[in-house]
Amino acid sequence: MKTISLKLESTFLQSIEKTMKKSNYTTKTEFIREAIRDKMQDLEKKEALMRLERVYGAGKKKHGHITDEDVHKAGEEAVRELAKELGVRLD
């Protein structure tokens, strides 16, 4: 594992610590790692949705909009792609 350094304003750090206590995180590292993972998943999901829109968007726009099922499938695809890139097994 590698170490990174992070500078935060004291008021922001206090806000993080309050949230950590409410959510039962024991360390700032654990909290920040999960926040980064969540953000990466969100970005991957957005990318997958953009790809989905490019592929299926023209037809969907004629007949309505992208459905929740489409979003769910795109999210699953994004998670699978990210796991593959990171060498993580999803079994």
Per residue in 8-41, pLDDT (tens digit) is 999 999 999 999 999 999 999 999 999 999 999 9
Query: Residue 88: is its pLDDT beyond 60?
Result: yes
pLDDT, position 87: 74
Query: Residue 52: is its pLDDT beyond 80?
Result: no
| Cβ 74 vs Cβ 45: under 8 Å | yes
Dihedral sign from CA coordinates of 78, 16, 3, 91:
negative
| Cβ 32 vs Cβ 6: under 8 Å | yes
Q: What is the mean pLDDT of the chain?
A: 81
- 17 versus 75: which is more confidently predicted? 17
Amino acid residing at 86: L
Residues of the chain with pLDDT > 70, as a percent, come to 79
To the nearest 10°, the Cα dihedral for 59, 62, 67, 72? 20
Helix, strand, coil share (%) of the chain residues, nearest 5: 75, 0, 25
The model scores a pTM over 0.75 = no
